[in-house]
A = this chain, B = another copy of it.
Amino acid sequence: MKDFLININGQIHNGPEARISVFDRGFLYGDSVYESTRTFNRKPFRIHQHIDRLFLSAEKISLLPTYSKEQILSEVLKTIKASPCSDLTIRIVLTRGTNTDLGLDTDLSGDNNLIIFTKEIKPNPAWWLTDGVSMIFYQKKIEVSGSLPKTGNYQENILGNREAHQQKAYDAFMINTFGFVTEGTTSNAWIIKDGTLYTPPLSDGVLDGLTRKTLFEMAKRQKLSLPLVEKRLTPEDFKNADECFITSTTRNIVPVTKIEERNIGPGIPGRITLELLRIYLEFVN
């Protein structure tokens, strides 16, 4: 927490000093939307797309932004500038605002609260690339239609992540009410089978991840060495994959080598996965 620089409605605080009203609706009800990104060479990565998606999430929960996209961008840049670190993780939280009274009524709050967290980014542990990480399946209880908004309502994902840790796994793949795999608790999910790259469609209840989007863009520009197909995928598809990995903005591509204690392929990071990581980093840098 000491390493954090936090911008709250334009004021920059050190981590431990950053406080917010207990009447903030994000605190009271999880009534907030957010985005996570990082910098490369002190420049925020795909920041316009992230801010666009923040506004899309806000729209999905009928949260009317009282900040403009330009104001949010300017506050992000200001916070990065204030940091002494070389490269940073960035979490942007927009809450519906501070309530004047207890109650769900959205009219109880006026202006949004904008909170920007920044912290020096750590390199991924080397063993993610040498050994890969293990996964479990977790029955997601939220029924979905279409891609997910990123809200402060994180209970299901917290429980999936917690269950994974209790089983000594790295994280969980979420399964929707139709029995299909959707994503990790903070990542998108991918498999490679018989020379084709697969990922679940957004309509299964998948977050429209920006690293995911980038891989689709690379496929379109013929930068990938294999075809990329969106397809509904079952837990069995994942268990029987040749290779498996997850993607996230802060972590790029992370190989998955074990699911529910069973090896994926020979149980080491896949050759194609590592090649994808190499060309992905080349592409974004």
Q: By the criterion CB–CB under 8 Å, are A154 and B155 in contact?
A: no
Query: In A1-40, which residues have CB < 8 Å from any B CB?
Result: 1, 6, 8, 15-16, 18-24, 26-31
In the complex, A143→B175 CA distance in Å? 13
Q: By the criterion CB–CB under 8 Å, are A18 and B22 in contact?
A: yes
Binding-face segment, A103-111, A193-201, A209-217, A259-267: A103-111
**Given A23-B15, A26-B27, A143-B141, CB of A105 within 8 Å of CB of B165:** yes
Contact with A141, one of B31, B99, B144, B152 (Cβ below 8 angstroms): B144
Decide if A101 is an interface residue (CB 8 Å cutoff).
yes
Binding-face segment, A123-131, A156-164, A232-240: A156-164
Q: By the criterion CB–CB under 8 Å, are B22 and A162 in contact?
A: no
Contacts of A106 in B (CB 8 A): 158, 161-162, 165
**Given A22-B8, A104-B158, CB of A152 within 8 Å of CB of B28:** yes
**How many copies of this chain does the complex contain?**
2
Contacts of A142 in B (CB 8 A): 141-143
Contact bitstring A43-57, B, C-beta under 8 A = 1, else 0: 000000000000000
Decide if A62 is an interface residue (CB 8 Å cutoff).
yes
Decide if A83 is an interface residue (CB 8 Å cutoff).
no
Contact with A153, one of B1, B6, B154 (Cβ below 8 angstroms): B154
> In the complex, how many residues of chain A place their beta carbon closer than 8 angstroms to a beta carbon of chain B?
54
CB distance from A151 to the nearest CB of B (A): 6
**Given A117-B102, A142-B143, A143-B177, CB of A158 within 8 Å of CB of B29:** yes
Q: By the criterion CB–CB under 8 Å, are B154 and A31 in contact?
A: yes
Task: Across the interface, name the chain B residue whose C-beta is closest to A95.
Answer: B27
A interface residues, Cβ below 8 angstroms from B: 1, 6, 8, 15-16, 18-24, 26-31, 61-62, 89, 91, 93, 98-102, 104-107, 115, 117, 119, 141-145, 151-155, 157-159, 161-162, 165, 177, 185-186
Q: With contacts A29-B152, A30-B30, A102-B117 known, what are 7 further pairs, Cβ within 8 A?
A: A20-B27, A24-B27, A62-B162, A104-B154, A105-B165, A143-B177, A153-B153
